[in-house]
Amino acid sequence: MNIKPIRTKEDYDQAMIRLENLFDAKKGTAKGDELEKLSLLIEKYEDEKFPID
């Protein structure tokens, strides 16, 4: 698990690919924890770059 801040479009694209790979991870597992953290980072990036009024 190598989670880092999402700062660029490339970072975002890579995070989305990883998210797809983790999508069926079970809650409470290492992959499930990675999925949860990654989804929060993606949400933060999207809120900053694509705000909805």
Is the CB of residue 6 less than 8 Å from the CB of residue 45?
Answer: yes
**13 token code pair:** 């694209």
**Mean pLDDT, residues 20-35 taken together:** 96
pLDDT at residue 47 is higher than 80: yes
Span 16-37, average pLDDT? 96
pLDDT score of 22 more than 80: yes
| 1 has pLDDT over 80 | no
